[in-house]
Structure formats: structure tokens, C-alpha cells
Chains A and B, each alone.
Chain A
């Protein structure tokens, strides 16, 4: 799939709301692409435009060189499958029912499943590891399990392109990681082109082959996650006054305002790191500078933090106590 000079957005009663202009994108077989961007930047609109559920404003979306507009709905359903954020209205459907709807574009007017269809449904369920839940009703499943079922539905549709709108929203950490790993695996092993929109920056950076970054100026930055970090695109899109992007870890950090500095000494690297993080939160920066008036020492023998501040001396057995003491002092 590729786009040429694609503009996206939606038509309002008065005029047009443009969310992105002049996108020239490529979505290749066997690659796992994550679309990132702040809230309201038009991720969902792009996802739906590429799925054919929304009209393009300008330019075109091409599949195997053919304009998406010229492909009828039934044909399109064989080329693109989607997983949406829509709540599934009928919770009484069984897992098998939902996945068998993926065969919709291939079955006859009655929707009769052939042996081949059944085999594909079974295979799709096995790929997402939900084959043991085949006869369970949707309403008895957890959010993570439901998401797997919807992915199996998309797989059963046997399209080269699979597009997912925020597949990890509402999931807990373990499920988020598992879904991302699953999608990455499916892209690589099943030779499909998988595109997701997501807010999971760190997970996307660790699993996606390519990132699409929606920018505030209605442009889009494309590249491997690592390249986007090296050329500063990541920081441009997401860094705000309250957030710092750490180029070494590829993580975003909350920016804390420093109000005071204190000398700190410890031979233990871990103690040093986590003490520093704990005090950062209340605006105290720990530095290795003996000339400072106030100082903190960690004694590994006693396991105590000893502080010298404004002439007073105190010891603490935990960081929580230390932080509490400093907060009190400030008031």
C-alpha cells in the first residue's frame, strides 16, 4: 500500500478540517508499522482513511497500484482488514462467530462456511492463541482476550494489509506487551503489512520496524525508530516543557524543576541512582560536589542515609522518611 500526496481530515458543515497534508507513505509486506502522535493529531483519521472507511480529501491511496476508491467494498475487504476501537454491540456472539465473520468477503450469499473456511478460522484462532476459547461468549472474555479475538477475525479475512486502531488501549502492561509482540510476529512470519496507531511510545520503539510520527504542522516523519531518535524527530514531536526525551534509553522522562542542590556520596551505583530519582521528584538535585553546604551520605554498614542540612544532622532508614523530612523542612 502506498499513498500519493494524500491529505486527510473531515468535512464539516462549514469547510474542511485538514489534519494532514501531502503524505507520501509506504506500507510494505512483512513490516510492522506504528503510527504515533499526540491526541487529536489525526491518527484515527489517517487509520480510517487508509482503511477506506473515510474519504481522502486530496491525493490517493494505492493498493498494488490501484486507487482504493476504484476498488469495490467486497474486493477491498479481501485486501484490507481492520481492528477498530468500536465497542462490539452483540456480546452474545461466540469467539467462533466473530472470527467466522472474517470470512464474510469469501462466503456465498448465505454466509455458509466451507471446510476451507473452517480451517482458516481454526488457524487464525491458533495464531492468536485463542483456539481453546472457541465456544466462549464474547462477554465472558477479558479486554485482552477480546482484542485477540478481533485480531483473529482480521487474520481470517486473509488480507495482506491489517490496520489496527489503538489495539492496546485499555489493556494492562502484560497484555499491551503481548499484543505488540503478537503483531510483530504476525507481520514478520505471516508476511503481512501491519499498521497500528498507538500511544505506547516505548513499546512501539521496541517492536515496530517503522514509525510514522504525526507532527503538529500536519506533516509526518517516517523512519526506523532508532533513526528518528538520532535525527531528533522524536524529540520535536513529543518533547514539551514538562517532558524530556532521554536519547540514551529512548524513554520519556518527567522534567523536574530543580530548587536546591545537595552533595551526595555513595559507592553503591544503584543506591546512588534511586536516591537521586527519589529526591528529583521534590526538586532536590543530588550532585557530587563537596563544596556544597548541605550533604547526604549513605552508610552501607548501617544501611542509613545521613543528612547534614542547615547545621542539623539526621539519619533515615528509608528514602520515604528522608523525602518526608525534607518536605517538612521546606514548609
Chain B
């Protein structure tokens, strides 16, 4: 236990350092002492204070929220499907959210849907509805097939279906709205306003809090559904909570940060290997830390510090995430052979 405690402390320190580094690094580098100063003293009207308070700080917070949120969502889905390859993007849940967003942006842009008062809330609602829809569909199929590869293919298929529906929407949409949507699909941590960020943070934090109460039943589910039931767990209720929490998180994050891939699959796996455990009482807080750290690293890379260009965040997460997925498949193969 002492060793695990030490890893937690190291991760927390790393998170703090990366958070500061993420604020300091970018096309304009700001020294750490300057960052500290400006954060402590609030806005002072200077260009640097503007950069930090209105661009870098919300982006760093967004990175932490998106990283930890997607990782929790991925961990919950992996435990629910009992499959190390489950995750919001792999199972097509992020695509479902995209469909929701596409419907909202394009149909809404043409006046089919009235925007209502709070456009951020409306966007989130559509996105969550989309992710919930696909998750339910995947759940329904997974009752019949639950081997890793089949489920993966089902997820990809649902992704294609929602993708083609999005194309249909694009076909009937105006060039302006299509461009708006395509930029959204690249994913971005920097596009959120403070209000939107508050909404994302509220969802991620409350969901993470709710997940703390799922840690014990999730551990019982490690044996089997019936064993969990025999130990007093309501499997049905636990499953409902997992579905609600993971689609809420995936939905709201996708709405404001775009469909960010692979984080949800890769982080729980990396964390299990780092801590060498399957105990959710350790994994839940740990994936929050590891997810935030990885997302901050990806954000720093995507900014290409010192240069004026920036990479889409989606391609950076895919660059490290896809190899992790291949690694999982190889590891499973070895386990099956051994």
C-alpha cells in the first residue's frame, strides 16, 4: 500500500507541474514565475494577463476536465462490458454525441430547431442524447455478443451509421455550418468559454463524485453478475448508474471539446498497469490523475511550444492512444494463448 501511496503523491506533483507548464508553454512562452505572479494577482489588463486568464488557464482546466472525465467514462464502460477495449470513442458513443452535435449545429443553424435561451445547454443536451442513444444500442447488441472483437466491430458500425447520418445532414446544410461542424470535429480544448467550462466541470466533478459510490459494487462485479447479486449488489441499478454517468460525461465533453479519441480506452489500461491492480477503490482516483496528466501532455504537444502553429488535439491523442489499443490486443492474445 505504501508503494501505491507513493505513486499517488508522485502523480499529484506531476499533475501540478504539468498544469503550470501547460499555462506557461505555447506560441508565446511565459516564465513559471510570471505565471505564478499573474495567477495570484488576477487580471491586470496586460496582454500576458489576457493570455493567461482567457486562453491558457481555461484551456488547462479544460484539459484536466476532459482527460479525467473521458478516463472515468472509459473505466466505467470497461467494467460494465468486462472488456479492456471498451471506451467512449471505441464503442461509438462519441460518434453518437457527434450526431447530436451535428443535428444541433446544422439543423439548428437552418432554423429547424429553435436555439432556446441557453445555447450551451442545448448543445450539451443534444450531444448527451446522442451518446446515450448509441450506448443503449451497443448494450442491446452486447447482450448477444460479448467477445472483444465483435463488440469492437459493433462500435465501429454504429460509428459508421452515425457518420453517414452526419453526412446526410451536411449534404442538406449550408457551407458555413458544415465548416463550423468540421472544425468542431478536430477537437479543441481552447474553444470553451468560462460558462461552458463551468458546465463541463460541473458534470465531470459530480459524475466523479457519484463514481466514488460505485467503487464497491464495481469491485463485486469483477467476479460475475450473479456473484455480485449474491453479495447484495443490485446489478441492474449499478448498470443504470454506469450508463447514465458515462454517457453524461462523454456527451458533455464531446459537445464542447469535440470528439476526442482513445483517451477513454488507453488511460484505464495504463493505470491498471501502473498500479498493478484491478481494485476500483484505487483505479477511480488513479484514472482521474493519469487522465488529467496525459491530456495536459497532449495539449502541450499540440501547442508545439515556440512555434506559431498548433496541431488538432485529436491527432495527438490518437498518436499515443492507438498504439495502446494495439498493445491491449497483443496482451490479450498472449493471455489467451498462455
Contact = CB atoms under 8 A, between A and B. Distances in A.
Nearest to A91: B335
Given A90-B278, A93-B222, A110-B281, A84 B227 contact: yes
A151 to B, nearest CB: 13
A107 interface: yes
A104 B220 contact: yes
Contacts of B219: 101, 111
Interface stretch (A12-20, A74-82, A166-174, A237-245): A74-82
A73 B232 contact: yes
Interface of B: 82, 213, 215-216, 219-220, 222-227, 229-234, 278-279, 281, 335
Interface string A87-108: 1111011000110011011010
Where chain A touches its partner, the secondary structure class is loop
A76 B231 CA distance: 8
B232 A88 contact: no
17 contacts: A76-B232, A84-B226, A84-B227, A84-B230, A86-B225, A88-B223, A89-B223, A90-B278, A97-B222, A101-B227, A109-B213, A109-B216, A110-B281, A111-B215, A111-B219, A111-B281, A139-B335
A45 interface: no
Contacts of A52: 230
Contacts of B220: 101, 104
Nearest to A74: B232
Nearest to A111: B216
B224 to A, nearest CB: 4
B216, B281, B335 — which one has the most chain A CB atoms within 10 A of its CB? B216
B122 to A, nearest CB: 36
Interface string A115-154: 0000000000000000000000001000000000000000
Contacts of B234: 73
Contacts of B82: 89-90
Contacts of B213: 109
A105 B228 CA distance: 11
B279 to A, nearest CB: 7
A271 interface: no
A139 B216 CA distance: 22
Nearest to A87: B224
A53 interface: yes
A226 B227 CA distance: 34
A92 B332 CA distance: 12
Nearest to A82: B230
A31 interface: no
Nearest to B83: A89
Contacts, number: 76
B216 A77 contact: no
Contacts of A84: 224, 226-227, 230
B222 A90 contact: yes
Nearest to B223: A88
B82, B213, B232, B279 — which one has the most chain A CB atoms within 10 A of its CB? B232
Contacts of B232: 72-77, 104-105
B281 A86 contact: no
Contacts of A184: none
A51 B232 CA distance: 12
Contacts of A139: 335
Contacts of A92: 278
B216 to A, nearest CB: 4
A239 B268 CA distance: 55
Given A84-B226, A89-B223, A73 B216 contact: no
Given A76-B232, A107-B216, A109-B216, A93 B278 contact: yes
B278 A73 contact: no
A77 B220 CA distance: 12
A163 to B, nearest CB: 9
A157 interface: yes
Interface string A49-68: 00111000000000000000
A321 to B, nearest CB: 45
Given A110-B281, A111-B281, A105 B231 contact: yes
A96 to B, nearest CB: 11
Contacts of A53: 226, 229-230
Nearest to A102: B231
A269 B205 CA distance: 82
B222 A77 contact: no
A52 B226 CA distance: 10
B215 A157 contact: no
A86 B227 CA distance: 8
Contacts of A157: 231
A72 B215 CA distance: 21
Nearest to B216: A111
A53 B231 CA distance: 11
Contact of A77 (B226, B231, B278): B231
A97 B276 CA distance: 13
Contacts of B216: 104, 107, 109-111
A98 B216 CA distance: 13
A76 to B, nearest CB: 7
Contacts of B281: 110-111
- Leading 4 A-B pairs by shortest Cβ distance: A77-B232, A86-B224, A74-B232, A90-B222
A74 B232 CA distance: 4
Contacts of A101: 219-220, 222-223, 227, 231
B222, B225, B231 — which one has the most chain A CB atoms within 10 A of its CB? B231
A110 B215 contact: yes
A140 B139 CA distance: 32
Contact of B223 (A76, A77, A90, A111): A90
Contact of B226 (A80, A86, A102): A86
